[in-house]
Structure 1
Amino acid sequence: MSLSKLKTIFIAIFIGGLTVAIILNPEQSLVASTRGLKIWWEVVFPSLLPFFIVSELLIGFGVVKFIGVLLEPLMRPIFRVPGVGGFVWAMGMASGNPAGAKLTARIRQEKQISSIQAERLVSFTSSSNPLFIFGAVAVGFFGEPSLGILLAASHYLGNLCVGLTMRFYGGSEKQLERGKKYRLLPSIKLAFKELHLTRINETRPLGKMLGDAVISSIQTLLMIGGFIILFSVFNQIMALVNITDWIAAVFSGILSLLHLATSLSVPLITGIFEITLGNQLVSEATADLLDKVMIASFILAFGGLSIQAQVASILADTDIRFQPFFIARILQGVYSSVIAYFLFKPLYLDLKAENPNSLPVFLMEHSPDWAKDYWELTIHLGPLVTIISLFVYIYLYGKRNVFTKTT
């Protein structure tokens, strides 16, 4: 029997088994889907929507090309990606997953980067945003605001290490790059020229551009919401049929070899599928804090299969392959865990000894509870932002696709 036929049989059995499990466990499936919907409704949608819309407008008006020309002397020699990669990296860190993938796919569609460069770029621009790391994980789950500094440092340094590693990816492109010459210093004149040309070539009026940005962004976020709910249910079903416990037995042996607490095996498996619930279980596990921080760092870096499915769906519309991204997530998980191990004493123990009840002064403006307050504000206002945005989307979509056809 061919490998293709075996794959078909496996997929059919898997989907069929999942369907039967959901039918046999309707109450637990409903609770899990509600939990996934709550995460998307309160946090993911309102957090990502502004970044997605603004990014589309910045690309349309040529601001991204302007930034790309200025950052070319920095990004090209270090990461072997065009200067626009600096914009994607910054927006990815600020807005979180899967913004880096969406922006990479967008500038690839604009032909501002090659497919190999896009595969390098998407590999190190996938990250959790600071709000989630500080507000949800450090304060909400662990109850330790100062732990956010350690988690954020290990997470973003892990991104940097992945970027430096992935610069060696794509050896076949080296011959093409070898004959090209790039600027050693940024050129304001050239950057402004590219900005102006892009704006001139953009024929859509401002209202049309804004409408397109809103529709495209909300469609992507609806897809993301579907994946979050699906994997939340899938995670619950795995626990109900004891598959999680079977896999945990294997992971316990691996954790034991690494001298980490075996009690973290189930939280780790859960985090591999869904990042939020995984980190919550890590914080509740009985283990040394250092072990929990290392596992939490791995989960944050790996991103969970839920986020990776979202990225795969976004990349499917381009010629960017998913495999390099997946390998990079494993690399970042390892890098972040190791960095967390070495930074645990200077960035957590030492800082907590100096200032036990608050974050360092350089990370707070008025109150040490800024992360907690900001997180709670997002949760309270998130549903309102989501429902208003969905009504706007329905109006714009209906106006373009329904009303125009009937008139």
Structure 2
Amino acid sequence: MRHPVVIIGRGRGLAPFLTMITIMAVVTLALAIILFPQPVFQAALRGLRAWWEIVVPALLPFFIISQLFMGLGIVHFLGVLLEPVMRPLFNVPGSGAFVMAMGYTSGSPISAMLTAQLRQQRLVTRHEGERLIAFTNNASPLFMLGAVAVGMLHNPALGPILAGAHYGANLCLGLLFRFYGRRGPASPPVNYPLLTLPRRAWRAMLQAQQKDGRPLGQLLGDAASHSFQTLITIGGFIILFSVIIQVADMLGLLELLARPLLYAGHPFSISPATARALAGGLFEMTMGAKFASEVAAPLGEKLTGISLIMGWAGLSILGQVAAMISKTDLRLGPFIVARLLHGFLAAILVQVFQGPAWPVLSRLAGNGFFPPPVSWLTLGMYYTGFTITLVSCLLVLTGLGLFARLLLYRRF
């Protein structure tokens, strides 16, 4: 009779080994919580504060608006209207423009949640969904311009450099990933004449509302309920990984992880202190960026480390994305590869922006092409103007959806 472990190992490959590693990690975490209750409690409290004071007010309005967009058929409207733009550039249907807009303005993991819903509604194929998640996952602009540039680095002028490198790297990923799975099945393209697109888009929105059929009151209630449930899941991940970072620091695991990261970071001239910050960023983006901003290193090295961490996003974001797509056939592997590429591309671009390209950027800023945020007040004015413009566009589209629903049902 053969040994059962050998049979399992042959049938499942690395599955038993990974299961054993997972069990050991969970048991170690549980023992650390029991043995070190005070620092673990403080770490959990830091994660809870970050979730309640930053994540909830930043993401909850966007989550509710996105659910209303789905229910009112506005996603279908944008899908038809923006098909001629999204399909040639990124090889995704026009509905991906909605995911891209929300992902670039509100931050992760909203793009994964919306892509999973598009996949469940059969608006995107599996490859298109994986392609879409790969280049729409971003740190929020408020986090980069406010929390990192102002709160951590105490220099608002660094915000556009970090944001430009971060978004630029993700757009490059979108152009690169358009070739991923291109031989697989694709969603039916919209081949309407350009002049008829608005009428076709309006008709697609009305058909989507008829198919949904929920009254407006139920739609609002479902949007608020689903959004807060999603935020509770995100909060659980943030608190858990805050505790994991604390335990890893107490057990010396951050120092152990920093050694291979130091070797991998030689092209970017990363010091041991920055490598340790990157080790923290492997788990959670916010704490890793804070560690990187506090190291005794040149400013260029700090920006490189922060860009790497924000591009990778951390295991916390990976866990949140895995939870969002768990009910679909979307795979996590392409997303992980995209995050690795995003980190390295952002690190390269941030060096270009603060090095060879800085004279050009500063000249453009001096000529009025780019407004330089020289103070917190100026930064707040620019961000407030951007937010007002975005919210105005969202309100106009939501009003169109409500008007269409009124025409359909003659009641609210």
TM, length-normalised to structure 2: 0.84
The answer as to 2:377 corresponding to 1:333 is: no
Output aligned runs, 1:238-253, within 5 Å.
Answer: 238-253=248-263
Map of 1:397 onto structure 2: none
Out of 106, 113, 117, the position equivalent to 2:124 is 113
Residues 352/262 of structure 1: CA separation in 2 closer, same or farther (3 Å cut) = farther
The answer as to 2:57 corresponding to 1:46 is: yes
Map of 1:322 onto structure 2: 332
1:283-325 CA-partner distances (Å, limit 9, x unpaired): 1111111111111111111111111110111110111111111
Map of 1:151 onto structure 2: 162
- Percent identity over paired residues: 39
The answer as to 2:172 corresponding to 1:161 is: yes
Residues 112/354 of structure 1: CA separation in 2 closer, same or farther (3 Å cut) = closer
Contact 1:146/1:348 (8 A) holds in 2: no
Residues 17/365 of structure 1: CA separation in 2 closer, same or farther (3 Å cut) = closer
Out of 313, 317, 323, the position equivalent to 2:323 is 313
Map of 1:294 onto structure 2: 304
Contact 2:364/2:370 (8 A) holds in 1: no
The answer as to 2:280 corresponding to 1:270 is: yes
Amino acid at match of 2:344: V
Output aligned runs, 1:62-81, within 5 Å.
Answer: 62-81=73-92
The answer as to 2:30 corresponding to 1:19 is: yes
Residues 70/354 of structure 1: CA separation in 2 closer, same or farther (3 Å cut) = closer
Map of 2:96 onto structure 1: 85
Amino acid at match of 2:81: L
Amino acid at match of 1:262: P
Q: Distance in 1 between matches of 2:132 and 2:253?
A: 35
| Structure 2 residues without counterparts, runs of 5 or longer | 1-5, 385-412
Alpha-carbon offset, residue 257 of structure 1: 5.0
Residues 221/190 of structure 1: CA separation in 2 closer, same or farther (3 Å cut) = same
TM, length-normalised to structure 1: 0.85
Amino acid at match of 2:291: L
Q: Distance in 2 between matches of 1:47 and 1:274?
A: 18
Residues 355/67 of structure 1: CA separation in 2 closer, same or farther (3 Å cut) = closer
1:268-290 CA-partner distances (Å, limit 9, x unpaired): 11112111111111111111111
Alpha-carbon offset, residue 261 of structure 1: 2.6
Residues 369/113 of structure 1: CA separation in 2 closer, same or farther (3 Å cut) = closer
Out of 134, 144, 163, the position equivalent to 1:123 is 134
Alpha-carbon offset, residue 184 of structure 1: 7.1
Contact 1:150/1:348 (8 A) holds in 2: no
Q: Which has the higher contact order (CA 8 A, sep 6+)?
A: 1
Output aligned runs, 1:205-284, within 5 Å.
Answer: 205-284=215-294
Q: Distance in 1 between matches of 2:298 and 2:330?
A: 40
Contact 1:75/1:85 (8 A) holds in 2: yes
Map of 2:149 onto structure 1: 138
Q: RMSD of the alignment, in Å?
A: 2.6
| Structure 1 residues without counterparts, runs of 5 or longer | 375-407
Q: Distance in 1 between matches of 2:208 and 2:91?
A: 24
Aligned length: 370
Map of 2:67 onto structure 1: 56
Amino acid at match of 1:39: A
Alpha-carbon offset, residue 182 of structure 1: 3.6
Alpha-carbon offset, residue 352 of structure 1: 6.9
Amino acid at match of 2:326: A
Residues 258/128 of structure 1: CA separation in 2 closer, same or farther (3 Å cut) = closer
Q: Distance in 2 between matches of 1:191 and 1:180?
A: 14
Contact 2:241/2:283 (8 A) holds in 1: yes
